[in-house]
A = this chain, B = another copy of it.
Amino acid sequence: MIAVYWVSLVTYFLLWKAYKHVSDIRATALRSSEPRAEQFAILVRDIPHAREGETKKEQVDSYFKAIYPDTFYRAMIVTDNKEVNKIWEELEKNRKKLLRAETIYAESRSIGSPEGVRPTTRTGFLGLYGTKVDSIEYYTEKINEITPKLEAEQKITLRDRQLSSALVFFTSRVAAASAAQSLHARMVDSWVVVDAPEPRQVIWTNLSLNYYSRTIRKYVVYTIVSLTILFFMIPITFITAFTTLENLEMLLPFLRPIIEIKSVRTLLEAFIPQLVLIIFLALLPMLLRYLSKAEGIPSESHVTRAASGKYFYFTVLNVFIGVSLGGSLLYNIKRLEGKPDAIIEVLAASIPYSATFFLTYVALRFFIGYGLELSRVIPFAIFHCKRKLLCKTEAEVKEAWAPGDFRYATRFPSDMLILTITLCYSVIAPLIIPFGVIYFGMGWLVIRNQALNVYVPSCESFGRMWPHIHTRFLSALVFYQVIMFGYFGVKKFIYAFAIIPLLLMSLIFAYVCNKKFYRFFHHRALEVMCHELKETPDIDSVYRSYLPPSLNSDKLDDDEYEIV
C-alpha cells in the first residue's frame, strides 16, 4: 500500500517537473527561433459562399483587410489540385527518368566506348513492349509536351478550383498568433481559424472539408476505432491462449508428445508468442494513421499524435488487459464451469501469472528492439539492395540512404505500454522493475542517440506531443491505481479503500496540470511571440513556401496570383 503511494507521488512529481520543463523548451524554441513560415500564417476554413460577382480571393482579402488593416499581408486560397498534381507528377516522373537515362549514358561512356551506348526504352506499358526509342530524346520530348499542359492546368486550377479554405498571411508574428485564437465570425461553423501547419506538414486534401463533415467524420472514426479495439481482443485472446503451454496441453491433449520435446518446449515458451504479438501490433498503425487522416485533421504532426493516441489505448486494452485476462481465463476456464460468479476472484488471483509473459516481453523489447534500432541492420540491408538494383542517379542513392522520420506514432505508444506494464506489475511482481529500468535507461542512451544523430524530423510541432504523452502517462497511472485497488480488495486487505484518495489525487493532478500548462501547448502565447526577431522576415518567401510544388512554377509570377 505504502509502495503504491510512493510510486504515485514520485510519478506526480516527475510529471509536473517534466511538463514545466517541456513548456520552457517550447517557449525558448518559439521565441528565439529564426522566422518560421507557420508563425506568420493562419489557416481559415469554412469560408462562406462569396457574394455574386466576387471571387473567393476578393472575399477573403476584403474580410481580413477590414479586421486587420495594418498587419494583413495576403491570402492564399486553397485549390483543388487533383488534376494539376496528376500532370505535375507525370512531369516529375519523366524528369527523373531523363536524369536516369543521362546517368546511364554518361556511365557507359566512361566505362566503354567514348560514344557510349545511348539507353533505349519501349513506349508501351511499363517499358515492356512497344517500339524501341532513344530514352533521352523520348523523355525530353515528353517533358516539352507536358510543360505547357501543366501551365495551362495551373491557371485553370488557380482560377476555377478555389475551395472554401485559405491560408492567410500576416506581417507580424503576434498578429498571426492572436488571430488564430480569436473568434472571427458569429457562427462557429464559418470562418474557422486555426494555427497554420508547417508548409511541409499541410494535408491539402483535408483543408477544404467543412465543419459538419469534420465533426461527423471524427465521431465515425472514433466509433470505428472503438470497435476495432474491442474486436481485436478476440484474436489476441486466441494467441495468448497458446502462450502458456499448460493451457495448450489441457485444451489439446493430443499435442502433448510434441510439446514435451525439450527444445521445442523452450522455444515455444520463450519467444514465439511474443514475436507473434509484436508483428501483429506492427500492422495496426497504418490503419490508425489512415483513420486519423480521415478525421479531417489539417497537419501531419497532428495526425501522428491522433494515431499514436489511438494506438496507445489499443495496446493497453488489448495487449495488457487482453493478455492478462485471456491467459488466465483459458487457464481457469474448466475451474469456472458451473460457478460463473467466482470469475473476479479467480481473475485477480491469476493475473500475477501473466507477469512472466510481460517480463519476457520487456526483455525481448530491449534486447532485440534496441539491438535492431542501434545497428540499423534492416535499413542498411534495404539500402544496399536498393543501391544495387534500383538506384542510378546521385539523388536516388541519397533518397535510399535517408534515415527517415522518428515514427512517433508507433514508438511512443509501445514505450507507454512498457511503462504501463512496469507500473502495474511493480507491486505484484517487483522483479519487473529492473527490467523496466533497463528498458528506459537503455532507451535514454539509444533513442537519444538515434534522435540526435540519425533520424531527420519530418515536422516540428514545438513540443505539442508532450501534453498528449502526459495524459497517457496519467491514465496509465490511474489504471495502475485501479488495478491495485481491485487486487488489494480481492486479497481481502482491509486498507484497500485507502487507494481511493489516491485516485482522487490523480484526477485533481490531471485537472491542475491541464489547466495550468495545456493552453500554451494549444496556442502560441503572445508574450512569447512578441520578442523581436533577429532578421526581418521576408514575407513573400513565407508565402511562397506554402505554394504546393505542383503550382509553384517560375513562370507564374506574382501578377498571376493577383489576377486570380
How many A residues touch the partner, as a band?
35 or more
Contact of A520 among B63, B187, B526 (CB under 8 A): B187
Check B516–A189 contact: CB distance below 8 A. yes
Q: What residues of chain B lie closer than 8 Å to A84, measured between beta carbons?
A: none
Is the C-beta of A143 less than 8 angstroms from some C-beta in chain B?
no
Residues from chain B with Cβ under 8 Å of A516 in the complex: 187-189
> Is there an interface contact between B186 and A67, defined as CB atoms closer than 8 Å?
no
Question: Which residues of chain B come closer than 8 Å to A186, judged between CB atoms?
Answer: 23, 27, 520, 525, 527-528
Chain A interface helix/strand/loop/mixed: helix
CB distance from A203 to the nearest CB of B (A): 23
A67 contacts B182, C-beta separation under 8 Å: no
Q: What residues of B have a CB within 8 angstroms of the CB of A526 in the complex?
A: 67, 182-184
| A179, CB-defined interface residue at 8 Å | yes
What's the least CB distance linking A435 to chain B, in Å? 37
- Chain B residues in 8 Å Cβ range of A187: 23, 516-517, 520
**Bound complex: CA of A1 vs CA of B14, how far in Å?**
56
Closest residue to A24 on the B side, CB-wise? B186
- A183-B67 in contact (CB<8A): no
Closest to A193 in B: B526
Q: Is the CB of B515 within 8 A of A67?
A: no
A63 contacts B517, C-beta separation under 8 Å: no
Choose among A184, A524, A527 the residue with the greatest number of B CB atoms under 10 Å from its CB: A527
Residues of chain B within 8 A (CB-CB) of A191 are 527
Most chain B CB within a 10 A radius of its CB, from A70, A519, A530: A530
Determine how close the nearest CB of chain B comes to the CB of A287; give it in whole angstroms: 28
Q: Let me know if A182 and B66 touch, CB within 8 A.
A: no
Q: From B70, B189, B520, B527, give the contact of A67 (CB < 8 A).
A: B527
Complex Cα gap A218–B338 (Å): 53
B-contacting residues, A191-247, CB 8 Å:
191, 215
Q: Does A523 belong to the interface (CB within 8 Å)? A: yes
Complex interface: chain B residues within 8 A of A288 (CB): none
Query: Which of the residues B185, B520, B524 comes within 8 Å of A188, measured between beta carbons?
Result: B520
- A215 contact set on B, CB distance < 8 A: 515
**A 62-84 binary contact with B (CB < 8 Å = 1; else 0):** 01001110100000000000000
CB distance from A63 to the nearest CB of B (A): 7
Given contacts A27-B186, A517-B187, A520-B183, contact A174 B525 (CB under 8 A): no
**Which 6 A-B pairs rank lowest in CB-CB distance, beginning with the nearest?**
A67-B530, A186-B520, A181-B182, A178-B182, A183-B523, A183-B525
21 interchain pairs, CB-CB under 8 A? A23-B187, A66-B530, A68-B174, A177-B182, A178-B179, A178-B181, A178-B182, A181-B183, A182-B182, A182-B526, A183-B520, A183-B526, A184-B526, A184-B527, A185-B527, A186-B527, A186-B528, A187-B517, A188-B519, A189-B516, A215-B515
The chain A residues found within 8 Å of chain B, CB to CB, are 23, 27, 63, 66-68, 70, 174, 177-179, 181-189, 191, 215, 515-520, 523-528, 530
